[in-house]
Amino acid sequence: MEHEVFVPVPVERLRETLGDPVRVARAVPGLQQDAGADPVAGRLKVRVGSHSITYRGAVRVSARDDGSYAVEGDATETRGTGSVKLALTLRLRDTDGGTTVTFGGTATADGRVTELPPDAVGAAVVRLLTRFAEALGEAQEEPEQGKQPESQPQTPEAVEAPEEPPAPLVDDFTEPVGPPAEAAHARRTMIGRSAEEVDHAPPRGRYAPVPAPQTVASGATLRWAAPAAAVVLASAIVVGRALRKRR
């Protein structure tokens, strides 16, 4: 088989990726790596038409003297006795705006995959190689663990915390913003008075004390009402006597 894929990445970058087994394993689509095994080893589910087959195996990529790469792999079915062997040659060709990746070689298989339509099997292989080539261009080198970006150390004395502005006052909308009318009037009437007068000034408005009810004294009324009554009585007596003499 032979298949070509264009990748918008320079050739040098792809060569760096192919030389790193960790980055190659990251480029295999759907690979579930086995703990403690080689980087490009583990489980891979391949979908062929409406069927899916899971294989467990390993792939090895090695550089050749002519600038190409040998891709060799073998795997067995996780639920069956079928197996697959892969022997491919990968070549990189510099192209305007990127690199053309060419796959060529053979693959042999037995088991469940031989029972599926050949067209569906070929389409699944082409799709797998295309996604692998595209992932090679996207694979990035992982940063070293524990490595922090370089920065100049700063001591606590050299770093001064910025002065925080005072927090703005929050208006309480449940109470009137201004003072009551009575308090404002009392404040206006106190202008010009001395401190002693203000301290002893009685509260006004709703806060003014309620005066006690006053009782009317009858003694003062009788002191001026009694002499007047005596004068009226004496005048009536004099008038009565004069009327009797005339008769």
Q: State the pLDDT at residue 235.
A: 72
Q: State the pLDDT at residue 169.
A: 45
In whole angstroms, what is the distance from residue 48 CA to residue 50 CA?
6
Q: Which residue has the tokens 């087994």?
A: 21
Of 108, 54, 63, nearest to 89 (Cα)?
63
In whole angstroms, what is the distance from residue 139 CA to residue 131 CA?
12
CB atoms within 10 A of CB 88: 21
Tokens at 111, concatenated:
């088991």
Q: Which residue has the tokens 């996207």?
A: 138
> What is residue 134's DSSP assignment?
H
Q: State the pLDDT at residue 229.
A: 62
Q: Could you report the per-residue pLDDT of 61-75, keeping only the tens digit for each? A: 999 999 999 999 999
Sign of CA dihedral 20, 21, 22, 28: positive
Identify the helix (H) or strand (E) that includes residue 221: helix 219-246
Task: Tell me the average confidence (pLDDT) per consecutive run of 10 residues in the chain, 247 residues long.
Answer: 93 94 91 82 92 93 95 93 94 94 94 93 93 87 47 47 49 46 52 54 63 57 56 70 68
* Residue 40 near residue 65 (C-beta atoms within 8 A): no
SS3 of residue 154 by DSSP = coil
The sheet carrying 51-63 orders its strands as 2-7, 98-109, 83-95, 69-77, 51-63, 41-48, 32-33
* Residue 98 near residue 7 (C-beta atoms within 8 A): yes
Q: State the pLDDT at residue 192.
A: 52
140 contacts: CB under 8 Å, gap ≥ 6: 23
Q: State the pLDDT at residue 145.
A: 45
